[in-house]
């Protein structure tokens, strides 16, 4: 059960309502951790803008979503997992890859950049940095701005995951996937 009270649109103050309406009109998320972020409208706006900026990079949807799922799985965040599995499948990430990440296994990825997206996220989260070998491989495989974006995705979805976990935000019933134990 979600710990934080979900503010109904008619209860929002003017700043909250403006940010909420802008997000809704743009097709951006307003649920999940955004139930908390709406308390700080500027934070909600900045988080939405960060997501837009990062999605505009030349990382493929698969590369991005592999890093996102790896990050969410690390944190064990139920709501983001449920929602991002749907986004990952839409981006072309196959179910065996989703299942491997969910079961804390290294996915069988033939694309070297996708393997590195998983490896970069995993090392950042478990070792709090990148080994020289991983950094060198990533620097060769990705353009500099892509590597910056990849690292930023790990950071953004760490924040999303921590927010969802702190407030025990419940995944929607219709979500296609749940975290494995």
Where is pLDDT greater, at 172 or 78? Answer: 78
Same domain, residue pair 40 and 79: no
Residue 27 lies in a domain: yes
Residue 172 lies in a domain: no
Same domain, residue pair 34 and 84: no
Output the pLDDT for position 44: 96
CATH code of 88's domain: 1.20.1290.10
| Each residue's pLDDT tens digit, 107-163 | 999 999 999 999 999 999 999 999 999 999 999 999 999 999 999 999 999 999 999
The tally of domains found in the chain comes to: 2
Structural domain range at position 44: 9-55
Same domain, residue pair 40 and 113: no
The whole-number average pLDDT for the span 83-100 is 95
| Each residue's pLDDT tens digit, 8-39 | 999 999 999 999 999 999 999 999 999 999 99
| Each residue's pLDDT tens digit, 40-90 | 999 999 999 999 999 999 999 999 999 999 999 999 999 999 999 999 999
Residue 143 lies in a domain: yes
Output the pLDDT for position 174: 76
Q: pLDDT confidence of 176, banded at 50, 70, 90?
A: low
Of 161, 177, 168, the closest CA to residue 72 belongs to 161
């Amino acid at each position: 059960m979600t710990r934080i009270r979900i503010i109904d649109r008619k209860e929002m103050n003017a700043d909250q309502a403006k940010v909420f309406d802008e997000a809704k009109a743009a097709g951006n998320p307003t649920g999940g951790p955004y139930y908390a972020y709406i308390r700080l409208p500027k934070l909600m706006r900045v988080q939405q803008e960060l997501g837009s900026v990062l999605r505009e990079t030349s990382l493929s949807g698969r590369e991005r979503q592999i890093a996102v799922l790896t990050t969410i799985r690390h944190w064990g965040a139920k709501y983001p997992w449920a929602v991002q599995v749907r986004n990952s499948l839409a981006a072309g990430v196959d179910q065996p890859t989703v299942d491997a990440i969910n079961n804390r296994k290294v996915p069988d990825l033939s694309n070297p950049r996708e393997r590195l997206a998983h490896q970069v996220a995993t090392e950042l989260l478990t070792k709090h940095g990148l080994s020289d070998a991983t950094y060198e491989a990533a620097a060769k495989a990705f353009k500099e701005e892509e590597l910056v974006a990849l690292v930023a995705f790990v950071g953004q979805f760490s924040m999303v995951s921590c927010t969802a976990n702190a407030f025990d935000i419940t995944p929607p019933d219709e979500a296609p996937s749940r975290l494995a134990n």
